[in-house]
């Protein structure tokens, strides 16, 4: 099967320090992979390296998206090929409305301009799926947003842009129960759409997995994926912490 995101023996350094030490992962369209692990294990480094952040240097290995090696491509080219990153800490941009930002981004991804009327129809449909007030589109991007509003805005971007593969870096962080369910519903909508998406869900907590059922759960320790399983693995971590898998990781070194 050609259509998949393939991460092979990925090594990544930040300012000369190796953070990822040989990560292997395959994500197919329609699959949800949850990536868990203690602080400092390399989860966010993986997200940033996949999206092409210049600070994160790939020193060995490769990243292939539907057969194309994207390891050396710029972030905008990766986005046009269908890769999307939901930031852990989205930046505020005063003066730029959510609507204008999304239309500009969509035009860039498609390589052609979408008519204003068609865009606003699309935007209203996606906002309705997230139970968002239409006025949200006229607010400045992330400016004065609560934590939950920032995460909803990130999920709205996914629904509008319809990427092939979505990397969600702790999208559940700081959300109350209602906001968490709304965000999870948005992710499930994207996953179950007519064009199934591959999703890498990076999280510290089991609670979002009450609303999103992962196909696979992976545990990262010290820059490596040391254990993989199904949702039961996440439940074990919730009950017992990372101590057991950290021991497994030490044995694999």
Higher pLDDT, 11 or 158: 11
**What domain count does the chain have?**
1
Domain CATH for 231: 3.40.50.300
Mean pLDDT of 87-98: 90
* pLDDT at residue number 139: 96
Provide the 10 A C-beta neighbour count for residue 64: 16
Mean pLDDT of 15-32: 95
Mean pLDDT of 216-240: 91
> Across the chain, what does the average pLDDT equal?
89
* pLDDT at residue number 253: 47
Judge whether residue 114 has pLDDT over 70.
yes
Residue 2 CA from chain centroid, whole number? 21
Instruction: For 121-149, write each residue's pLDDT tens digit.
Output: 999 999 988 888 899 999 999 999 988 88
Mean pLDDT of 172-199: 79
Collect all residues with Cβ–Cβ distance below 8 Å to 145 and sequence separation of at least 6: 92, 139, 153
Residue 173 falls within a domain, yes or no?
yes
Residue 195 falls within a domain, yes or no?
yes
DSSP-derived 3-state class of residue 206: coil
With residue 99 as reference, give the H or E element that holds it. Answer: helix 98-110
Residue 99 falls within a domain, yes or no?
no
Cα–Cα dist 104/92, whole Å: 17
Question: DSSP assignment of 36-96, as one string?
Answer: E--TTSSHHHHHHHHHT-TTEEEEEEEEEETTEE-TTS-HHHHHHTTEEEE-SSPPPEEEE
Judge whether residue 84 has pLDDT over 60.
yes
Judge whether residue 85 has pLDDT over 90.
yes
Mean pLDDT of 27-44: 92
Residue 119 falls within a domain, yes or no?
no
Residue 68 falls within a domain, yes or no?
yes
**Cβ atoms 137, 99 nearer than 8 A:** yes
Confidence of residue 106 (pLDDT cuts 50, 70, 90): very high
Residue 176 falls within a domain, yes or no?
yes
Residue 24 falls within a domain, yes or no?
yes
Angle of the 116-129 helix axis to the 177-191 helix axis, nearest 10: 120
Question: DSSP assignment of 148-182, as one string?
Answer: HHHHHHHHHHHHHH--SEEEEESTTTT--HHHHHH
Confidence of residue 244 (pLDDT cuts 50, 70, 90): low
Cα–Cα dist 43/36, whole Å: 8
* pLDDT at residue number 1: 56
Confidence of residue 246 (pLDDT cuts 50, 70, 90): low
Domain that holds residue 203: 5-92+167-252
Percentage of residues of the chain with pLDDT beyond 70:
94
Residue 25 falls within a domain, yes or no?
yes
Instruction: For 200-227, write each residue's pLDDT tens digit.
Output: 999 887 888 888 889 999 999 999 999 9
């Amino acid at each position: 099967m050609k259509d998949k995101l393939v991460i092979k023996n990925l090594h990544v350094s930040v300012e000369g320090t190796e953070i990822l030490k040989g990560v292997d992962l395959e994500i197919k369209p329609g699959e949800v992979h949850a990536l868990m692990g203690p602080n400092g294990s390399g989860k966010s480094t993986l997200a940033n390296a996949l999206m092409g952040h210049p600070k994160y240097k790939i020193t060995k290995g490769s990243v292939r998206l539907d057969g194309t090696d994207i390891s050396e491509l710029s972030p905008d080219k990766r986005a046009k090929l269908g890769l999307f990153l939901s930031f852990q800490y989205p930046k505020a941009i005063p003066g730029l409305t959510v609507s204008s930002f999304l239309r500009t981004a969509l035009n860039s991804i498609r390589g052609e301009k979408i008519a204003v009327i068609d865009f606003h129809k699309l935007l209203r449909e996606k906002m309705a799926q997230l139970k968002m007030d239409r006025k949200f589109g006229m607010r400045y991007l992330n400016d004065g947003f609560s934590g939950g509003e920032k995460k909803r805005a990130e999920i709205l971007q996914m629904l509008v842009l319809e990427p092939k593969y979505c990397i969600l870096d702790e999208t559940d962080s700081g959300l109350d129960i209602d906001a968490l369910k709304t965000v999870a519903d948005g992710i499930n909508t994207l996953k179950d759409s007519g064009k199934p998406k591959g999703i890498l869900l990076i999280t510290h907590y089991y609670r979002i997995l009450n609303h999103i059922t992962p196909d696979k759960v992976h545990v990262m320790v010290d820059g490596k994926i040391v254990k993989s399983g199904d949702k039961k693995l996440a439940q074990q971590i919730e009950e017992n912490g990372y101590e057991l898998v950290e021991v497994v990781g030490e044995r694999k070194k």
